[in-house]
Chain A
Amino acid sequence: MLRKINIWYITSLLISLVVAIPILTVFSSFFDTTSAFVEVLKNTFLLQYIFNSICLLIGVLTLTFIIGVGCAYMVSFYNFPGVNFFKWALILSFAVPPYIYAYSLTAFFENYGTAFTILTNIFGEYNYNQYIPKFDELLGAILSLSFSLFGYVYILTRASFLYQSQNLIDIGRNIGFSKIESLFKVIIPSARPAIIAGLSLVSMETLSEFGAVDFFSVNTLTTAIYNSWISFDDLVFANQLSFYLLIFIFAAFLIENFSRNNAKYHLPSKGGFKEKQKINLTGKKSLLFFLGCSIVFFLSFIFPTSQMLYWTLKYPKHFHDLNITQLFFNTIYLVILSSLVLIVFSFISNYGNRVSRSKFLNALTTFSISGYAIPGVILAVAFITFISWFDENFVKVYDLKSIKKIFIGSIAGLVIVYFVRFYSLACNGLKSGYEKINRSVDESAYLIGYSKFKTFTKVHVPYLRNSVLFIIILVSLEIIRELPITLILRPFNYETFATTAYIFASQDLLEAAAVPALLLISIASLFILLTSKYILRDNSE
């Protein structure tokens, strides 16, 4: 055991401890007393809030499953017009944060909104409001979240489909399955781990989402968290609710893990892998597939982007009023710094786990997921509370200079909390890459005289290049879109595209929010375009 404790082990342990700060702080709320809000809520809307939260979750999971798996299936197994375009165009949905989707949805369908304007322009004056469907509340939130999150399911499922051997499909066919039967009985079950991984990312984002749910003021447990904190000044109960959400997610994970305990999902060994043959579609069917992908692309990307573009063109004043260069640098600075920190520490932690082979460390890493599943604002508050507590109880005791200024309202603090929030994304992403490198590769490297460090730089890093790029892009997109943490922890006079969009939106000037929103989408899209070929690693290309 002692043999295992080296510098790698200690660093990994430290990282895990930092990441565990919020969950510990949130858990400590159970030792405090709550306000009357608990009783009020129990007697009134608690059941409805829970019910709505479950509806939201089920709605988003169902939609992202259908859209994500459906699109991945179409572009992976068939050839139809535009398939090479859709392959990467569908990931552009990642560039649109749920809250910006929510702004577009509202602006288009509300009374006297964009749809009303369009109808008036075409058919003349009339009270069209009653005929325009309203996508708000729970439905609005489900749509906003689904269309901006289905990308997780799409990317991961598609990657898994790519490695499905033709043999598997042949077997299905030999048994006499139709294409539909093959899809549900062979293709989807064998991609199950990837689909579940995508859906679990979606579910965590859904339960910890702040912008869209707040914008539509859907009555979910998130509302309860806010009401408790804002109106009853009861942060304790807010923390406890967040903790219950976390437990719920952990439970879901465990059940899923348990249920497939005995199933093994091997990658086909090299020799047995038969290149998949894409089916060429013609006629009606190809049109159908083309339309399916077009609709998803339109709804997930073109619709929100054009609403933002429409406003930017209609009210150009807002464009000139913004200090775009400053916003750009502020946003990019945070993205680069945080991605760098995340990647470096994920590498260290993963490598530490690998060389120490400690089960304890592995379990701690699993814990790290908590940062991703706690609402961002609660996470930021937990961090502030912890820093303050640490400062009062340790730093002050030894008469040292206060550390609060270093961590609260500083770039350093922001980067640390981003780190805690997105660590599981980075670390688990890298882990799955690492698992594909056989340990015998390490042994061989040691045999030919490589040091551990040289093995790391000369063997692991090149092997993992694509995984790393994929993680960088995911993390960057998350940070560009991130709102609640940035809002509460940023330094004076520090605005990003996301905070600027929020500030305009919160004074009911969505028209002005359009400019920063559009720029945010553009930068994120550029990121995606530049790296799409790495995200979409394709054997056939």
Chain B
Amino acid sequence: MRKLTIISLFFALISSFTIAAEVNIFSARHYDSDVQLYEKFTAATGIKVNVVSGKDKALQKRITEEGADCVGDLYITADAGRLGAFAAKGMMQNAGWSKAIRDAVPSQFRSKKWTGIAKRARIIYYSPERVSANELNGMTYEGLADPKWKGRLVIRKSNNIYNQSLVASLVKNNGKAKTAEWSKAVVANMARTPKGNDRAQIMAVAAGEADIAVANTYYHALMLSGKKGAEQQEAAKKVMPFFPNQQDRGTHINISGAGMLKHAPNKANAVKLVEFLLSEEAQNHIVNNTFEYPMISGVIPNDLVPGKEMNFVMDTKTSVKSYGAKQADALEVMLAAGWQ
């Protein structure tokens, strides 16, 4: 056993000193399919990808305190608000995105410091048995406050980042006071005290506990894929997707993205990795594993994802940067409304 300890100690030591072409990632978006992508990248370029995954704020704290000693190149996370907020703290640098990246990613989904890699939509799921087409006609996020949904709506807790970004976009568009009233009305409409993740909301509609749910698109696709078992696959078929706000600003869109860290030691490699992640090959891999929407045009979303023709109106007017700026306001109005 002692020998073993010494040997592993030795390996741990040398592995931290090997110098090779590499890129270091702090990732709060930890899909195992991402790891497969990194392996493909290494095979193609010889650049090794090192990863520490964890919770957003914990990673941010580590990066901040490490300061100039931080060897991280990229910070990857699944919320635009978090990217924007971290950049605003001065923890990122101008990445010098290549022309390929600038051409591939629409300008509202990137800044000089960070760029989106994939898109996700937060939409409404409904029971076609209990909700008529007429009822949903022209439905908006604002419409969730309509008293006709009393006792029929499920949505997760206020501490959830997806809800916070959605409500932040409402604060941005309608103002804090109006959103506060909206929150109160939404709470009054809830079929139950918020609990569970997005998938649990969809299942509550399938099980008849509620008529409409708010959830991210890839959760439903995950259920339809059969990865959660045959029963949930069946349950998923009992609910239908609805894209809100099609007549005005469009459906709430968030991104998964990567930002260039302030002290990145392998900046050129990091840009190469992002270029790779935005390549057709990688985008196809992402849409078929995480069920997100592609960031680049020309790649078709997975069959199980609603709106795969991308013919729905996306909210491109509300800058994703505002999700971070209005996050605290969003939580404040939700808490004040008694949103658990």
Q: Interface of A with B (CB < 8 Å)?
A: 35-37, 40-41, 43-45, 110-112, 116-117, 120, 127, 129-130, 136-137, 216-217, 219, 223, 226-227, 229-233, 235, 314-315, 321, 329, 333, 336-337, 377, 380-381, 384-385, 387-388, 402, 404-405, 408-411, 484, 487-494, 499, 503-504, 506-509, 511-512
Question: What separation, in Å, do the CA atoms of A411 and B198 have in the docked complex?
Answer: 36
B159 touches A235 (CB 8 A): no
Q: What does the 1/0 interface line of B50-94 toward A look like (CB < 8 Å)?
A: 111111111101100111110100000000000001000000000
Chain A residue numbers with a CB within 8 Å of B228 are 511
Q: Within the complex, which residue of A40, A227, A411 is in contact with B12, where a contact is CB–CB below 8 Å?
A: A411
> Do A384 and B62 contact each other (CB < 8 Å), given the known contacts A110-B200, A488-B54?
yes
Closest Cβ neighbor of B222 among chain A residues? A508
Q: Interface of B with A (CB < 8 Å)?
A: 1, 5, 8, 12, 16, 24, 30-32, 50-59, 61-62, 65-69, 71, 85, 157, 159-161, 164, 193, 195-200, 203-204, 206-209, 219, 222, 227-229, 231-232, 234-235, 327-328, 330-332, 335-336, 338, 340
CB distance from A383 to the nearest CB of B (A): 10
A408 touches B62 (CB 8 A): yes
> Do A129 and B335 contact each other (CB < 8 Å), given the known contacts A231-B159, A411-B12?
no
Question: What separation, in Å, do the CA atoms of A293 and B338 have in the docked complex?
Answer: 43
With contacts A230-B57, A336-B5, A506-B30 known, what are 16 further pairs, Cβ within 8 A?
A35-B328, A111-B200, A112-B235, A217-B195, A219-B157, A219-B340, A231-B327, A384-B62, A388-B66, A405-B69, A409-B66, A487-B53, A492-B50, A492-B51, A499-B53, A503-B32
Chain A residue numbers with a CB within 8 Å of B31 are 507
> Do A112 and B65 contact each other (CB < 8 Å), given the known contacts A381-B58, A507-B30, A508-B222?
no
Q: Within the complex, which residue of B51, B53, B203, B227 is in contact with A509, where a contact is CB–CB below 8 Å?
A: B227
Question: What separation, in Å, do the CA atoms of A336 and B4 have in the docked complex?
Answer: 11
Say whether chain A's binding surface is mostly helix, strand, loop, or mixed.
helix
A508 touches B199 (CB 8 A): yes
Chain B residue numbers with a CB within 8 Å of A219 are 157, 340
Chain A residue numbers with a CB within 8 Å of B340 are 45, 219
Chain A residue numbers with a CB within 8 Å of B209 are 111, 129-130
Closest Cβ neighbor of B232 among chain A residues? A112
A227 touches B5 (CB 8 A): no
Chain B residue numbers with a CB within 8 Å of A232 are 328, 331
Question: What separation, in Å, do the CA atoms of A507 and B5 have in the docked complex?
Answer: 33
A226 touches B207 (CB 8 A): no
A487 touches B30 (CB 8 A): no
Closest Cβ neighbor of A134 among chain B residues? B195
Closest Cβ neighbor of A128 among chain B residues? B207
The 5 closest A-B pairs by CB, nearest first: A492-B50, A129-B207, A388-B65, A111-B203, A404-B69
B159 touches A503 (CB 8 A): no
Q: Within the complex, which residue of A229, A388, A484, A488 is in contact with B67, where a contact is CB–CB below 8 Å?
A: A388
Chain A residue numbers with a CB within 8 Å of B8 are 329, 333
Chain A residue numbers with a CB within 8 Å of B330 are 231
Chain B residue numbers with a CB within 8 Å of A36 are 328, 332
Chain B residue numbers with a CB within 8 Å of A329 are 8
A–B pairs, 10, beta carbons within 8 Å? A40-B331, A111-B203, A111-B206, A137-B193, A233-B328, A321-B32, A384-B65, A404-B65, A404-B67, A508-B198
B59 touches A488 (CB 8 A): yes
Chain B residue numbers with a CB within 8 Å of A223 are 159
Chain B residue numbers with a CB within 8 Å of A321 are 32
Question: What separation, in Å, do the CA atoms of A72 and B222 have in the docked complex?
Answer: 45
Q: Within the complex, which residue of B5, B32, B199, B328 is in contact with A504, where a contact is CB–CB below 8 Å?
A: B32
Question: What separation, in Å, do the CA atoms of A384 and B85 have in the docked complex?
Answer: 21
Q: Within the complex, which residue of B52, B57, B199 is in contact with A490, where a contact is CB–CB below 8 Å?
A: B52
Question: What separation, in Å, do the CA atoms of A142 and B16 have in the docked complex?
Answer: 42
Chain B residue numbers with a CB within 8 Å of A404 are 65-67, 69
Chain A residue numbers with a CB within 8 Å of B196 are 110, 136
> Do A226 and B159 contact each other (CB < 8 Å), given the known contacts A116-B231, A488-B62?
yes
Chain A residue numbers with a CB within 8 Å of B58 are 377, 380-381, 484, 487-488
Question: What separation, in Å, do the CA atoms of A457 and B199 have in the docked complex?
Answer: 59
CB distance from A343 to the nearest CB of B (A): 14
A231 touches B331 (CB 8 A): yes
Chain B residue numbers with a CB within 8 Å of A492 are 24, 50-52
CB distance from A433 to the nearest CB of B (A): 24
Highest count of chain B CB atoms <10 Å: which of A120, A127, A385, A508:
A508
Question: What separation, in Å, do the CA atoms of A487 and B59 have in the docked complex?
Answer: 9
A112 touches B30 (CB 8 A): no
B30 touches A503 (CB 8 A): yes
Question: What separation, in Å, do the CA atoms of A321 and B340 have in the docked complex?
Answer: 38
Question: What separation, in Å, do the CA atoms of A219 and B340 have in the docked complex?
Answer: 8
Closest Cβ neighbor of A406 among chain B residues? B69
Chain A residue numbers with a CB within 8 Å of B222 are 508
